[in-house]
Amino acid sequence: MSALTGGIAYTPAVGSPASVEFGITDANNVQWSISNIAGDGGPPMNGQVVPAGGDHGGWATPQFAGPRLLTLTILAIAPSTAARDVARTQLYMATPINDLAVLRLDEPIPKQMYVRRSGDIPETKEADADVRFAVGLVAPDPRKYGTILHQASASQASAAAGLAPPLTPPLALPPGAPPMAVSVTNSGSFGTRPTVTITGPITSPAVVNQTTGAAVSFTGMTLSTGDQLLVDLGAKQSYLNGVYRTADIASSWWELPPGTTTVQVTGTGSTGSTMTVAWRDAWI
């Protein structure tokens, strides 16, 4: 499919959702299409090179991708001026100014971004009922994400599993409980930040990136059976049964680089606990 098809959808916390699908004729017989996307080549970079004192060249300070700025040129071909006005309202509702909508682009690997409108929407009349919109959008997170949400789960088995009567000596005791860990793959080209959900029982849980050793830990926290701790490494926030809880101050909010990473949850008293990692592939 063409990269100039896709859609934008907004679901408010209160009220009805709104969306526009590009490359189709909608229920009001309005033909929607994207004729251009400016800014799709990549986000600006925040960083600088400081001139070296008394020497050639300079020192490269840390550099990070800034918010992605986009302008979508959208053509709406309407059967009447009334349908055109409905289309305008639909587009405004689908591009909020104080919240984030999902912009989907049907590239060979479909991708999506979280965007909001950055200003007014200038219009150019193409005919009596046809109009071309220039929609300025800003994506605070510059990543393009895969449209598929991946998930991988693991559970903590008992260390005594595997022994059952009748028992005949000599006994071969099973090893300790295997680590509660999963291998996850970011098939994109840029680091992505997952969410990890831990279901108790467990005490002092920690979410560990085994590849780098970085961990988000909760020393002294106890989850009873059925309690859930959601660790959002993108928002750098965590919630125990829906209530905000802080992680240890020394925690490192890590990401999944391109490729395969092993994610582990550690803690004590964890027999019967489970973990689920959810993530999207990411590109820049």
Spatial separation of the C-alpha atoms in residues 136 and 71, rounded to whole Å: 4
Domain assignment of residue 169, yes or no: no
Predicted pLDDT at 172: 46
Write the single-letter amino acid at 247: A
Predicted pLDDT at 178: 59
Residues 201 and 236 in one domain: yes
Residues 137 and 222 in one domain: no
Predicted pLDDT at 127: 81
Spatial separation of the C-alpha atoms in residues 146 and 39, rounded to whole Å: 19
Predicted pLDDT at 53: 87
Predicted pLDDT at 164: 45
Predicted pLDDT at 102: 98
Residue 62, pLDDT above cutoff 70: yes
Residue 170, pLDDT above cutoff 70: no
Domain assignment of residue 35, yes or no: yes
Average pLDDT in the 172-192 region?
78
Domain assignment of residue 171, yes or no: no
Residues 187 and 82 in one domain: no
Residue 168, pLDDT above cutoff 90: no
Domain encompassing residue 276: 150-160+176-283
- Write the CA distances from 75 to 12, 94, 221, 250, integer angstroms: 25, 15, 54, 51
**Each residue of 136-162: pLDDT tens digit?**
999 999 999 999 999 999 998 754 444
Beta carbons within 8 Å of 82's beta carbon, 6+ residues apart: none
**Each residue of 220-239: pLDDT tens digit?**
999 999 999 999 999 999 99
Average pLDDT in the 258-264 region?
96
Nearest to 110 by CA among 6, 10, 193, 33: 6
Residues 40 and 123 in one domain: yes
| Torsion angle defined by CA atoms of residues 203, 207, 209 and 214, in that order, rounded to the nearest 10 degrees | -90
Query: Percent of the chain, pLDDT > 70?
Result: 92
Average pLDDT in the 58-86 region?
94
Q: Beta partners for 206?
A: 217, 266
- Per-residue pLDDT band for 176 (boundaries 50, 70, 90) equals very low
**Each residue of 4-61: pLDDT tens digit?**
789 999 999 999 999 999 999 999 999 999 999 998 888 989 988 999 888 899 999 9
Domain assignment of residue 100, yes or no: yes
Domain assignment of residue 136, yes or no: yes
Spatial separation of the C-alpha atoms in residues 30 and 131, rounded to whole Å: 11
Domain count, the chain: 2
Residues 15 and 85 in one domain: yes
- Per-residue pLDDT band for 126 (boundaries 50, 70, 90) equals confident
Could you tell me the CATH number of the domain that includes residue 197?
A: 2.60.120.860
Predicted pLDDT at 1: 40
Predicted pLDDT at 41: 85
Domain assignment of residue 33, yes or no: yes
Domain assignment of residue 59, yes or no: no
